[in-house]
Amino acid sequence: MKGSRPSTWRRAANGLLALAARPVRRAQGRHGTVLEAYRGYGSHDEIFLIGRVFRQSRPEHVERDSEIRRNLRDIGRRIRRRRVAGAAVVARFGGAETRVVTDRDGYFRIAMRLCEPPPDEIAWHPVDLAVDTDPPLRGQGQVFIPTSRCRFLLISDIDDTVMHTGVANRLKMLWHLFVADAESRVAFPGVAAFYRALHAGQTGVEGNPMLYVSRAPWGIYDMLSTFFTLHRIPQGPVLFLREWGLSWKRPWPRKAEDHKRALIAHMLALYEDLPVVLIGDSGQHDPEVYARIVEENPGRVLAVYIRNVSREAGRIADVERLAIAVTQAGSSLVLAADSVAMAEHAAGLGLIAEDAVAEVRGERDDPLAVAATDPDQPASVVIK
């Protein structure tokens, strides 16, 4: 056991370096300029897209170099990145064109009205992007626009809802956010199959929009995207609530309840013809935020699913009171530590196919998934 400790620490150190080193994107233009676009979303009338422009040094290729040396060199490239503020970015899509300018951190935000509706038979659409340089630096973004087959919108939290981050335990949360890589982050057993079923819908071909929110900063966007791919969770725009604004005096994220509520209100207005399913966890303020959304939007919320990550009886009682209020408002709230309980309820509402419940149960009961489950997860509890 003692003899294995150095190799364990070596692997851990190398994993930390690998996480810190990536993503180091290939420079696309002169002076090592990179145009990076995150997945966006939209309707047949308008689209929204966020991205960043920055400069970084070009990679050095050294034969027979160790992985640690390569990672250290890439970390150096990331540290030396220089944000490009004031750069003009031009976006073209749907017969429309708009021009925006990057902010002081190099980020650009595109909100564009379309001149012509995009094709209805596909959901993901390319957006042509260019940085106004000589010669222009060109790139492409992707936006999700629901097709006519979609029946509802899913808005899901990520932290302690899709994967273990330990939001209720701040030190554990920071470890999972910044140290654990995409391969080692643990998805809750059954959650991937459940989300695939919701995306497919009862008919299996609905392609319902999947919108995810997180407390994490933009810096781990690519890691989250890799995590979703590894666990076969339907991809969607990952909509971070805000920049963290961390400091040594305040090393924790600021409160985000109002930001999340405003974001959901924006989505409900954008997709005014679609009802919504809300998924979150009991560790933070999701039940309170979602209950208020139900109250303010009668008839729009089909169901609220809350993953129980709390051991305190008082917190469960709080959520139970909210469940009663949600039911009185014409919706339903399910609190459960088990994805199967949520899937059974969703199948009962006709949100997913009946046979999808068996797939969720099979994924939950997979020996590898069970072995990877957080030992601190509370016992299963179901409140409907």
Structure-token match 């208020």, residue found: 292
Give, as one character, the DSSP assignment of residue 50.
E
Residues forming a β-bridge with 238: 212
What's the pLDDT at 334? 93
What are the Cα distances from residue 27, in Å, to 35, 91, 113, 235, 354?
Answer: 8, 20, 30, 25, 48
Give the C-alpha separation, 312 to 168, whole Å.
12
- Give residue 373's pLDDT: 47
Please report the pLDDT score of residue 328 as a whole number. 93
What contacts 178, CB < 8 A, 6 or more positions away?
A: 19, 220
**Residue type at 140?**
Q
DSSP sequence for 182-222: TTTSPBPTTHHHHHHHHHHTTTS-----EEEEESS-GGGHH
- Compute, in degrees rounded to 10, the torsion defined by CA atoms 115, 103, 252, 215: 20
> So what's the architecture of 22-144 in CATH?
Sandwich (2.60)
153-383 has which CATH code? 3.40.50.1000
d(CA 117, CA 97): 14
Domain coordinates of the chain in residue numbers? Answer: 22-144, 153-383
The pLDDT assigned to 23 comes to 59
What's the pLDDT score for residue 372? 43
Evaluate whether 13 touches 20 at the Cβ level (below 8 Å): no
DSSP string, 302-341: EEEEEE-----HHHHHHHHHHHHHHHHTT--EEEES-HHH
Alpha-helix residue ranges (DSSP H) falling in the chain: 5-21, 67-79, 170-178, 191-200, 221-230, 257-270, 286-296, 313-328, 339-348, 356-364, 367-372
Short-list 283, 260, 256, CA closest to 211? 260
Count of alpha carbons within 13 Å of 227, Cβ hemisphere only? 24
What are the 10-residue block averages of pLDDT along the chain, 384 residues in total?
51 56 58 85 94 75 60 58 88 95 92 93 94 87 95 89 57 46 56 93 95 75 75 80 41 56 90 94 88 94 90 85 93 90 95 95 68 47 54
Question: What is the token pair recorded at 325?
Answer: 């209020």
Task: Give residues with Cβ within 8 angstroms of 4, minimum separation 6.
Answer: none
